[in-house]
Structure 1
Amino acid sequence: MSEAATLERPTTRPAEQVDVLIVGAGISGVGGAYHLKTQRPGTSFVVLESQETFGGTWWTHKYPGIRSDSDLHTFGYRFKPWTGTPIATADEIRKYMGDVIEENGLDRHIRYNHRISSASWSSAENRWTIEATRTDTGEPVVISARFLWMCQGYYRHSEGYTPEWAGMDRFKGRIIHPQTWPEGLDYTGKRVVVIGSGASAATIVPNMCDKAAHVVMLQRTPTYFRTGRNAIEIAEELRALQVDEHWIHEIVRRKILLEQSKFTDRCFAEPEKVKAEMLANLRSILGPDYDLDRHFTPDYRPWRQRIAFVPDADLFHGIASGKASVVTDEIETFDEGGIQLKSGQHLDADIIVTATGFHLNVLGDIDFAVDGKPLAFHDTVTYRGMMFTGVPNMVWVFGYFRASWTLRADLVGDFVCRLLGHMQEKGAERVEVALRPEDRDMPLLPWIDPENFNPGYLMRGMHLLPKRGAKPEWQHTQDYWAEKDIFPAIDLDGAEFVYK
């Protein structure tokens, strides 16, 4: 805990005053800025971004083929039509975000290279004091805000998660994490091993195939994948009919969301049938003799972990062509020439990519304090996955695991703007959530049920996250289809909201 986090107000310089401070200029922060600008005209706000430009994950990651694993009709904002292919590259997504910034004059609100170190709430002033440093100049920055909107995402951008394997220091080649991909890496003719089986690995492997001598995807356990054309037929048909793009965007979003909801329900209701369908699709590409049971048949039901979409099945065509292969095994040790597996097999490698996940980042690695006391978020209870008991004037954006992140960012954006308006109408300077009398004996549970969803990054960081209650309003339900109706109907004068 830094000394700054225990202070209620800075002693170095007068603080700049704003109504709202948004943390992060990724997909959520840019969306939040748009909602404030359009729904709350006259509200003063700034967006602080630690990186040198906007984009968040789409700027951090620069590995070969970096692309979305959600369709852009739902990952894109509801207010701006997406007109490209549903699975888009990082450059295409940043171009889209850049258009939102330019078209709405958001650039004057965004400040890059600002790393926040502490955020301190003062009940005497009913304001947050945010202390940051300009990473390009070293200049300290102090801002006082009435409301704090956390849009910083959920993982640490500065470093990815790489397990410690024996012998890593002996390896004579390069070990690279996708999050810190070196610029200009030449892998022509190189033997590459990609450790991992998630969306990053499924993207990197086919995109390195053409230049590398061979690419191996090394996984400890299999993952479910869905494949399909990188196109949406109804969107193509509507464009051929010259239907307005805003109509197309809304129609396609609704169609995708309904299909996603039905698919998720089927994963719970008939998991074996869904599994058989997904595996049959892979077998049609890999052939009848390929060992699907070993390499692509997980031992858990579909959607207990995230299912990556592989556009045009490029990963599987790479395997079928012989340019790539999959090895399902455990690592014994690294050595000078590659990886020795527990089965006795040796994987020769010049480059090893550790697509092994990331570090969960709870609220930006910022030292928080309320009235001089350090704030431990794991001791709070979440209200609908966006507010926390005992934490005034703050909302957090945490998206969906089984649907596009931006869907929830838009819902939360509407909620924040409505909440700010309600506070203004009441003449309130402060709002926080609190358990109601009927909630006092409610069981408190981990942030999410591991039987429902249990990826490694979440399990490793569960102890950092707030608690959830046994009632829907005190948890992140992960159900967009329900929340799209619940959020607009939230009673801001309900007993769980405490105003001062």
Structure 2
Amino acid sequence: MPPRPLAPPPLDVDVLVVGAGLSGIDAACRLSMEGDRLSWAVLEARDATGGTWDLFRYPGVRSDSDMYTLGFPFRPWQGATSIAPAAEILQYLRDTADEYRVTERIHVGQRVTRLAWSSHDRRWTVTARRGDGEVLEHRARFVYLATGYYSYASGHVVDFPGQEDFAGEVVHPQQWPEGLPVAGRRVVVIGSGATAVTLVPALVAEGAEHVTMLQRSPSYVAALPNVDPVADAVRRWLPASLAHGVVRAKNVALSSLTYEFLRRRPVTGRKVLRRRLVERLPEGYPVDVHFAPRYDPWDQRLCLSPDGDLLEVLSSGAAEVVTETIDRFVPAGVRVSTGEVLAADVVVTATGLRLELGGGAELVVDGAPVDLSAAHVYKGCMLSDVPNLALAVGYTNASWTLRADLTARWFCALVRRLDARGLAVAVPRWDGSGGADRPLLDFTSGYVQRGAHLLPHQGSRRPWRVVQSYAYDVATMRLGRLDDGVLELS
């Protein structure tokens, strides 16, 4: 028997980034820009980088934000489309990691299981388990959690009545089987969120005989062009970095104004969204049955349909929407509450994500476990009474990267300030002055409501309030003071 390969040595660095997806690569690039002043490394639980964009393999998986804001501000997006497929995003992330010499510092196949802070040592001990069972204990002055807030292990699974009786295949988008045949088969997609809206036209494109989107209740769908004519024009006349900044600023402003309009004028917003759907769907299509949610726009995230691809397959008859509750699975498909059976060879349960902060790692401060659900979030990126730890949490109403990059830059500035003043520890102190507790994610989406009890809280006053506004965060994080009387530096 050949000898087992030696485990890599434990790390002892200034900063340990956990997660090598979009947020982790962004933070690592920002650390790389600090030069040789800091030592740092990245731990990744999976055997590949890219996070979300490597994990999801279902047909049509793509961004639901434009790439000029989802991409990094320091590396222009050069793709032809604004809403990019996962493969292009993944290549962009890996090319960025190579260019900024991040790849060589990523340690894949190390799942962080425990983060323990010692005030005596002023260090984190980070326990990571390799796939072969080997356990490593790394040490770091600072930890940056770039793990997002959903579980990579599994999505939200619903045990539908009679599912064992179904004669076909049942798959969840988060565990899409490689090589699953779709051509010539009837597919029912259960769900109405971004994943379902993406899957339906993609399955039609792959040759499915017929696709049914079965939803319990509707979502808002907006059709937007997949090619940005302004971006194309600007890129022809300006250098890449300047053009990227112009288009990024334009898209940030446009999305912010649209969000504010829909939130402040929900009745008018509903009418606008409805009218645009009516213009794209066949005359007499029951828009008010299938695309008129009970909630206001942006109570949940709007679903994006690039170039109206979903509306096109509905108009052609290759796909349909059924708005009904499920009675049970039967051998031939799914029976809904009216008694109708939706015939299917494949059922896709696009039933959502499962929330999980920090990749499920245990968090301990001076021997005492930290109850995340009792903590409060400072400036959207630190936890109350937890020293030298930052976490990247993106926007719910805009591109994830906009806030993630602000967080990474603020974190680097914090470490720089501490070192310049000969200090070692930064910890936000919650004393109740942040106002009444509010959910971290103020969203009515099913996956948020199911897991809200697992997440920390925000307050009602700054710096404990998590505002879904890029302009506000630029003002407070790029221009605001570190010595604000709440963040204790020692």
**TM-score calculated relative to the size of structure 2:** 0.96
**Cα distance change of structure 1 residues 346 and 377 upon mapping to structure 2, 3 Å threshold:** same
Q: Which moved more, 1:13-22 or 1:262-271?
A: 13-22
Pick one of 3, 22, 26 that aligns with 1:31.
26
Q: Which residue number corresponds to residue 482 of structure 2?
A: 492
Q: Which residue number corresponds to residue 479 of structure 1?
A: 469
**Counterpart secondary structure, 1:218:** strand
Pick one of 366, 372, 376 that aligns with 1:377.
372
Pick one of 288, 292, 299 that aligns with 1:304.
299
1:95 aligns with 2:91: yes
Q: Which residue number corresponds to residue 415 of structure 2?
A: 420
* Mapped contact 1:40–1:417 kept (Cα < 8 A): no
In 1, Cα distance between the equivalents of 2:105 and 2:257? 40
Once the two structures are superposed, the pairs formed by residues 327-366 of structure 1 within 5 Å of their partners are 327-366=322-361
Pick one of 429, 436, 445 that aligns with 1:443.
436
Q: Which residue number corresponds to residue 4 of structure 1?
A: none
Name stretches of at least 5 consecutive residues in structure 1 with no aligned partner. 1-11
Q: Deviations over 1:44-103 (max 9, x none)?
A: 111111111111100110000111010000000000111111100111001111111111
Q: Which residue number corresponds to residue 312 of structure 2?
A: 317
1:233 aligns with 2:226: no
Once the two structures are superposed, the pairs formed by residues 88-237 of structure 1 within 5 Å of their partners are 88-135=84-131, 137-210=132-205, 211-237=207-233
* Mapped contact 2:434–2:461 kept (Cα < 8 A): no
**Counterpart secondary structure, 1:490:** coil
- Residue 441 of structure 1, CA deviation: 7.9
Percent identical across equivalent pairs?
38
* Mapped contact 2:385–2:430 kept (Cα < 8 A): no
Letter in 1 for 2:362: D
* Mapped contact 2:16–2:140 kept (Cα < 8 A): yes
Letter in 2 for 1:215: V
Name stretches of at least 5 consecutive residues in structure 2 with no aligned partner. 1-6
Once the two structures are superposed, the pairs formed by residues 253-292 of structure 1 within 5 Å of their partners are 253-292=248-287
Q: Which residue number corresponds to residue 3 of structure 1?
A: none
* Mapped contact 2:220–2:293 kept (Cα < 8 A): yes
In 2, Cα distance between the equivalents of 1:301 and 1:338? 33
**TM-score calculated relative to the size of structure 1:** 0.94
Aligned length: 482
- Residue 443 of structure 1, CA deviation: 2.2
1:86 aligns with 2:82: yes
In 2, Cα distance between the equivalents of 1:497 and 1:443? 19
Letter in 2 for 1:475: R
Pick one of 460, 464, 468 that aligns with 1:470.
460
CA RMSD between the two structures: 1.6
**Counterpart secondary structure, 2:47:** coil
Q: Deviations over 1:290-333 (max 9, x none)?
A: 00000011111111100121111111100111110000000011
**Counterpart secondary structure, 2:482:** coil
Letter in 1 for 2:155: G
* Mapped contact 2:189–2:214 kept (Cα < 8 A): yes
Letter in 2 for 1:216: T
Q: Deviations over 1:449-497 (max 9, x none)?
A: 4xxx211111111111112212031121111121122211231122101
In 2, Cα distance between the equivalents of 1:392 and 1:238? 44
In 2, Cα distance between the equivalents of 1:497 and 1:179? 38
**Cα distance change of structure 1 residues 176 and 290 upon mapping to structure 2, 3 Å threshold:** same
